[in-house]
Amino acid sequence: MALINEHFLKLQNSYLFSDIAKKVNSFKVTHPKDKIIRMGIGDVTQPLAPAVIEAMHKAVDDLATTDNFHGYGPEQGYSFLIDAIIKNDYASRGVFLEPGEVFVSDGAKSDCGNIGDILRHDNSIGVLDPVYPVYIDSNVMSGRTGVLEDGKWSDVVYIPCTEANNFTPELPARRVDILYLCYPNNPTGTTLTKDELKKWVNYALANDVLIMYDSAYEAYIQDPNIPHSIYEIKGAKKVAIEFRSFSKTAGFTGVRCGYTVVPKELNGFTLGGERVQLNKLWNRRQTTKFNGTSYITQRGAEAVYSPEGKEQVKATINYYMTNAHIMKEAIQGCGLKVWGGENAPYLWIKAPKDLSSWKFFDKLLYEVNIVGTPGVGFGPSGEGYLRLTAFGDRDDTLEAMARLKKWL
Known binding residue 132? Answer is yes
Known binding residue 15? Answer is yes
Known binding residue 25? Answer is no
Cα 11 to its chain centre, rounded Å, is 20
Known binding residue 110? Answer is no
Find all residues with CB under 8 Å of 278, minimum gap 6, and list them. 118, 210, 241, 262, 266, 267, 268
Known binding residue 217? Answer is yes
Do residues 371 and 40 lie in contact, with contact meaning Cβ atoms separated by under 8 Å? yes
Assign 3-class secondary structure to the chain: CCCCCHHHHHCCCCCHHHHHHHHHHHHHHHCCCCCCEECCCCCCCCCCCHHHHHHHHHHHHHCCCCCCCCCCCCCCCCHHHHHHHHHHHHHHHCCCCCHHHEEEECCHHHHHHHHHHHCCCCCCEEEEECCCHHHHHHHHHCCCCCCEECCEECCEEEEECCHHHCCCCCCCCCCCCEEEEECCCCCCCCCCCHHHHHHHHHHHHHHCCEEEEECCCHHHCCCCCCCCCHHHCCCHHHCEEEEEECHHHHCCCCCCCEEEECCCCCEEECCCCCEEEHHHHHHHHHHHHCCCCCHHHHHHHHHCCCHHHHHHHHHHHHHHHHHHHHHHHHHHHCCCCEEECCCCCEEEEECHHHCCHHHHHHHHHHHHCEECEEHHHHCHHHCCEEEEECCCCHHHHHHHHHHHHHHC
Task: Determine whether 324 is exposed, middle or buried from the number of CB atoms within 10 Å of its CB (0-12, 13-18, 19+).
Answer: buried
Known binding residue 275? Answer is no
Known binding residue 259? Answer is no
Known binding residue 42? Answer is yes
Known binding residue 291? Answer is yes
Binding site, annotated residues for pyridoxal 5'-phosphate? 72, 108-109, 132, 186, 217, 245-247, 256, 291
Known binding-site residues equal 15, 42, 72, 108-109, 132, 186, 217, 245-247, 256, 291, 387
Binding-site residues for substrate, in ranges, read: 15, 42, 109, 132, 186, 291, 387
